[in-house]
Structure 1
Amino acid sequence: MAHHTHRLWPLALLITAALAVQGCNDKPAASTQAVTNAQPEQGAFATVTVQHQLGTTVIERAPKRVVALDMNEVDFLDQLGIPVVGMPKDFVPHFLARYKEDQGVEDVGAIVQPNLERVHGTKPDLILMTSLQANHYQALSEMAPTVHFDVDYRDSEARHIEVIKDHLLTLGTLFDKQALARQQVEELDAKVQEVRDLTAGRPEKALVVLHNNGAFSSFGEHSRYGFIFNALGVKPASTAVDSGLHGQPISSEFIQHANPDIIYVVDRTAVMERRPVMDAQSMGNPLLRQTNAWKNGRVIFADAQAWYVTGASPTSLKLMIEDVEKGYQR
């Protein structure tokens, strides 16, 4: 049998990494993702058991045909040198652009609505997914062992960077790339420390805003960009209520009260409509123009593909950190 899910754990060496979890609708409770290696015969593949938010997945054979249903997962595999046989190609970030035109990589539909027939047609022996495809977990699991990446896209405050590092190590174990995975973790640690050294003791307060067809929403400490404040040391310009996945619509009173020293603008419209990211000349919102950030030239137009399409992978995290640093270097 190539794959099954169950509640019993085999007696084996246990490598445990606590992860923040994410529900699809309700606020999730904490859980633990674990990777278990059975002791193999010499030269044989070590059966790997991965416990994740949606269940327990057993991989009994070395994966050779991997389908990744989220761009974060594609980046994880890319960083570990693991080929991909299928992925959605509706929104591919620039740092993974070579996959979009690669005829050897099957287009399996949309990130939020994968084409299950195409997924099945790739004959996968491993499927990687996130909460965006959670309602397809059972159907996907019937095709191949399916592992869920327990990242919380609504509230990244709780261990977001640790979740990314843990997933790197999980995949490193699964693909026998432990040394490379540890190297990637060390690089992320160094990058995080770099920005924390930059933000430490600085008085500036920042606001993260999302642009969507002329409207703006802000994101605080308990939102998809919460880790910017909690893990990277950025001081929030507002302590408003939790803003979750879609942010809090900005009013003139909100802007006047927050008056941030730094603003990070994530242009969702540029991503969804495939057009250039807005800049100071094209942003006509009078509310943002009244802030100290605008007056002092510290409005950072972020890498929208890294922040919005991904945001939970090694490459996207490094790009986001570089954007954060720009706000303190002007």
Structure 2
Amino acid sequence: MRIPALVLACTAALALSACGSSDDPSPTTTTAATDAGAFPATITHTFGTTTIPKAPQRVVTVGFNEQDFALALGVKPVAVREFLGLYAYKTRPWAPGANSDPTPALVGGAEINLERVAAARPDVVLGIYSFIEKGIYDKLSRIAPTVAQTKDFGVGAVPWDRQLLDTGKALGREAKAKEVVTEVNAQFADAKERHPEFQGKSIAVAFESGGTTFVLGDDDLRQQFFTGLGFVTPKDAGKEYQEDNLSRERLDVLDQDVLVLITDDDKGLLRDPLYRRLKAVREGRVINVRATDAFAGALGFNSPLSRPYLLKQAESRLAAAVDGDPATKVAAPE
């Protein structure tokens, strides 16, 4: 997976806000004690191993969703990387206080600003969902011990629970990480039990902007949110329907039991006659999401904080989409 598949298909149209940074950001705020005997902690990842000698006091996150994972463990970073897309992530409802005083400094958006990372004086840099390459990793490692993603999965495809467990080890909060994983997984298990009708239903998750449409595959964390509820990724002769730029001639790829369509306006695909003739559209099996909606932002973060929030948003809408009654309206997400 590449960074373009991470963002909400609208980065090209997005003017990133300035990445301002305090010269002396406040120390990391913590609300939980570290596990006894947690340090030194050694973590194996795609670029080798990283040893963190003692409990970090100044945490910098350079992954696009990384700040939520630290916050879920009671750690507020001193500096973070911006979340790409149109969603106003600084006021995301599932992470109240994330941008309150002390406000984390910003260390980049599409690209990491190494000078700003260094200015934050980190004890550890978390970059599990950062899509960094070896050269950037080496430069970050010269600033502070840096944790990249595990090599057990493709680039950007580390499941949220593994990301949290690795983050917990780096921060000396493995016990808390396991507790959070158990709690979130229980919520999804309960939802699956409430909705056996989700099991085996095909779902396409697509993003459209400026005439470009792409469809997610199983290796994408956003698709995994829905497959975690029992839905399946559509296949064609055993191959995923994963497209970077879906042509109008292949809009049939979107014609699944459920379609989640995220767009940045209502003037493109939504008005396309070929799209409007899809059976899923005619029968009301589409969850239409705007890129500015909290639904889109929560799906993009796909964190231990945003997943429970998104589950509450998505559950009733998914149920309405698969109930077999075209008269049932699928409510617009918030």
- TM-score, with length taken from structure 1: 0.69
Q: Secondary structure at the match of 1:71?
A: coil
Kept in 1, the 8 Å contact 2:208–2:269? The answer is no
Greater relative contact order (Cα < 8 A, sep 6+): 2
**Counterpart contact for 1:154–1:223, Cα < 8 Å:** no
Q: Distance in 2 between matches of 1:81 and 1:51?
A: 23
1:55–1:144 Cα change, 3 Å: same
Q: Map 1:60-139 onto structure 2 (within 5 A).
A: 60-89=53-82, 91=84, 93=89, 94-95=92-93, 96=95, 98-100=97-99, 102=101, 104-110=103-109, 112-129=110-127, 130-134=129-133, 135-139=135-139
Tell me the percent identity. Answer: 26
Secondary structure of residue in 2 paired with 1:266: strand
Q: Decide whether aligned partners of structure 1 residues 194 and 288 sit closer, same or farther in structure 2, where only a CA change above 3 A counts.
A: farther
After superposition, what is the alpha-carbon deviation per residue over 1:39-67, rounded to whole angstroms, capped at 9, x for unaligned? xxxx8763111111111001111100000
Q: Is residue 2:277 matched to residue 1:297?
A: no
Question: Structure 1: 5+ residue runs without aligned partners?
Answer: 1-21, 25-42, 271-277
CA deviation profile, 1:17-43 (whole Å, cap 9, x unmatched)? xxxxx899xxxxxxxxxxxxxxxxxx8
Partner of 2:299: 307
Residue type of the alignment partner of 2:231: V
Structure 2 residue 320 is matched with structure 1 residue 329 = yes
How far does residue 187 in structure 1 lie from its aligned partner after superposition? 1.9
| Aligned counterparts, 1:171-186, within 5 A | 171-186=167-182
Q: Deviations over 1:62-100 (max 9, x none)?
A: 100000012321000111110211112364622457545
Aligned residue among 202, 209, 215 for 1:218: 215
State the distance in 2 between where 1:215 and 1:84 align: 35
Offset of residue 181 of structure 1: 1.7
Alignment of 1:142-291 (within 5 A): 142-150=142-150, 156=157, 160=158, 163-197=159-193, 198-199=195-196, 202=199, 204-221=201-218, 223=220, 225-228=222-225, 230-239=227-236, 241-242=239-240, 247-256=243-252, 259-267=255-263, 270=264, 278=265, 283-291=270-278
Q: State the 1:234 CA deviation.
A: 1.1
Counterpart residue type for residue 138 of structure 2: Q
Q: Is the 8 A contact 1:261 1:298 kept in 2?
A: yes
Query: Once the 2 structures are TM-superposed, how far is the Cα of residue 146 of structure 1 from its aligned partner?
Result: 0.5
What amino acid is aligned across from residue 328 of structure 1 in structure 2?
A: A
> Which residue pairs with 2:8 in the alignment?
none
Distance 2:83 2:164 in 1: 24
Q: CA RMSD in A?
A: 3.4
* Alignment partner of 1:318 is 2:308: yes
The alpha carbon displacement at 1:193 in A equals: 1.7
Question: How far does residue 143 in structure 1 lie from its aligned partner after superposition?
Answer: 0.8
Provide the rounded CA distance (Å) in 1 between the counterparts of 2:241 and 2:202.
18
Q: Distance in 2 between matches of 1:213 and 1:141?
A: 38
- Tell me the distance in 2 between the aligned counterparts of 1:80 and 1:23: 28
Change (3 A) 1:253 1:155: farther
SS at match of 1:301: strand
Do the aligned partners of 1:89 and 1:100 also contact (CA within 8 Å) in 2?
A: no
The residue identity in structure 2 corresponding to 1:315 is L
> Quick one: which amino acid aligns to residue 145 of structure 1?
P
TM-score, length of structure 2 as denominator length: 0.68
